[in-house]
Structure 1
């Protein structure tokens, strides 16, 4: 078997967390008398970490570094209380994971969400499926920097080329390419199939179980 491990992105790939993220940020914006955004807007804010999302959501005249930092901490505090309220696993994900476990495929999660939140959400919604569960600890190391993806491969005791990297964004496809992993996009996430293909996706899945054919 060519592939022995799979690294999954979290938001937009394993789970639909859009509404919880948007609700948390909109609550912060509303508390400051700033304009809020639609769920559709947040599809394009997600993917490069919560700090980047905060910057995109703030009005242009209130977007200095101090305000971003302040609102980031408010948003994380708010999000922590509701992070699994509306967040749901996508249909077919559990069936896929069970089949992968049966095939002895090693599974990991790598998200640009803060590491404690990534671990909390993944553990709550997918107990005993993933190890390691990796999130953002330092801004310079966030995706598409391949450093943590390669570190995951080392922890799994696999070569990067033995790993499929599955995600829903341009950032995920770039990360996979930078890490010399097999880039697989998903069409059910927050970005378009065209964006995934133009950023290096070697396959785009329309249903989670489509991943089995790649194995």
Structure 2
């Protein structure tokens, strides 16, 4: 077997969260009298945590206090609306189940705030992924490797034999900083050309290809 541990990004890798993120972003902007953003804009804004998402979504020159208010409104709205339109990408749940049956250690590491990461993991992957870590105070978020190391520690496994899987340039940098190989997925928030231009070395286009890459088995 090629690896024994797979650490996954969440948004754009396991779950299609884009519409719920966009809805909460536009709610926060609207209640603060700011213009909304379309889905493609929000797609480009995600990946570095919700603080960066809102900072990119508000108009240039927005006062810091108003940006902070938007972030607070986003968090409150998203926490109770994050499962409205979100769903695993087709084939993800089946792939995770197969990996678990084969003894893989599985974790999620995301720049989304920690309570949301844990809540979404419980809703969609309970019994499949035992460790889920998001952004929290005192722990550097991706692309720093700290949350990846925390996940490996909670799983009780060494870094050797682990791989990081994600859909963005942030994930590529995170894996590099953690000293892990990276498998990039092209079905998420960044396309294949973008991933290649940001240093991707291995790209898969569907969960079946990802399973084959993780287990080093040829697709049947």
Q: Is the 8 A contact 1:20 1:82 kept in 2?
A: yes
Q: 1:22: Cα distance to partner?
A: 0.5
Rounded Cα–Cα distance in structure 1 between residues aligned with 2:21 and 2:209: 28
Q: Which secondary structure does the structure 1 equivalent of 2:160 belong to?
A: helix
The match for 1:91 is: 90
Cα distance change on mapping 1:35 and 1:139 into 2, 3 Å:
farther
* Cα distance in 2, alignment partners of residues 167 and 139 from structure 1: 23
Greater CA deviation, 134-143 or 172-181? 134-143
Equivalent position SS for 2:183: strand
RMSD: 1.4
Conserved? CA contact 1:18–1:87, under 8 Å? yes
1:146-190: per-residue Cα shift (whole Å, max 9, x none)? 011122222223222311111001001110111111101111100
Whether the aligned pair in 1 keeps the contact of 2:139 and 2:147 (CA below 8 Å) is no
Give the deviation of 1:199 after TM superposition.
Answer: 3.1
- Matched residue, 1:61: 61
Cα contact 2:5–2:106 (8 A) shared by 1: yes
Residue of structure 2 equivalent to 1:3: 3
> SS of the counterpart of 2:45?
coil
The answer to whether structure 1 residue 124 and structure 2 residue 117 are counterparts is: no
Q: Distance in 2 between matches of 1:139 and 1:58?
A: 26
Cross-structure match for 1:154:
153
Report the CA distance between 1:66 and its aligned residue: 2.1
Residue ranges of structure 2 left out of the alignment (5+ in a row): 216-220
Partner of 1:114 in structure 2? 113
Does the aligned pair in 1 maintain the 2:28–2:71 contact within 8 Å? no
Could you state the TM-score of these two structures normalised by the residue count of structure 1? 0.95
Q: Normalization by structure 2: what TM-score?
A: 0.92
Structure 1 residue ranges without an equivalent (≥5): none
